[in-house]
Amino acid sequence: MTIVDKASESSDPSAYQNQPGSSEAVSPGDMDAGSASWGAVSSLNDVSNHTLSLGPVPGAVVYSSSSVPDKSKPSPQKDQALGDGIAPPQKVLFPSEKICLKWQQTHRVGAGLQNLGNTCFANAALQCLTYTPPLANYMLSHEHSKTCHAEGFCMMCTMQAHITQALSNPGDVIKPMFVINEMRRIARHFRFGNQEDAHEFLQYTVDAMQKACLNGSNK
């Protein structure tokens, strides 16, 4: 802010009257609520109705008379830009209004999964998917298998068989053979008996499920 000598201002007050970029230095004794020098400063309510811009003097602030645009009124350009500009998908895998984040039926804790020899990575990922309510609800409805036209391997049908078996045998221990038998189809580098990464297996499994849903669609 520009510092103005009060002594010179008192001798010629008109010299600084029309300079918007100047401000008056106030001594500590004048900083009380009743000081006349503070009366020249606009109140906070007045400041909120004006925009702030840099004045001609470095560090100075000028209050312009233009009012702040009313943000409550939406602009036509903003309304037109609400869309993300992405074309609608050729195929909707699952309508969002049908997704239920909670269990649609009450189930007891399903079966445990037997380790068939370094298959704990697959068991961990399968248990996570089995107890994901939206996915389990869809699999238990058998909605996919009713409309599936895949020839040969289908990861969605494989997961449907596994989740149905796991939740239909509470308290038991089952062998996840529906998935283990298709290990090479889920990812070519997976080998039965080899220790693999659980997160990697989960990614490949979800990708295979998506490819099964997109079967017959354009790339």
CA distance 11 to 8: 5
Could you tell me the pLDDT band of residue 69, with boundaries at 50, 70 and 90? Answer: low
CA-only gyration radius of the chain, Å: 35
> Quick one: pLDDT at residue 129?
96
Digit-coded pLDDT (tens) for 75-112: 444 444 446 888 887 777 778 888 888 998 888 899 99
Q: What is the mean pLDDT of the chain?
A: 74
Digit-coded pLDDT (tens) for 21-50: 444 445 555 455 444 444 444 444 554 454
Q: Where are the alpha helices (H) located in 49-154, listed in sequence order?
A: 76-80, 120-130, 133-140, 143-147
pTM > 0.85: yes or no: no
Digit-coded pLDDT (tens) for 155-190: 999 999 999 999 999 999 999 999 999 999 999 998
The helix/strand/coil state of 54 is: strand
| CB of 190 closer than 8 Å to CB of 196 | yes
What residue spans define the domains of the chain? 118-214
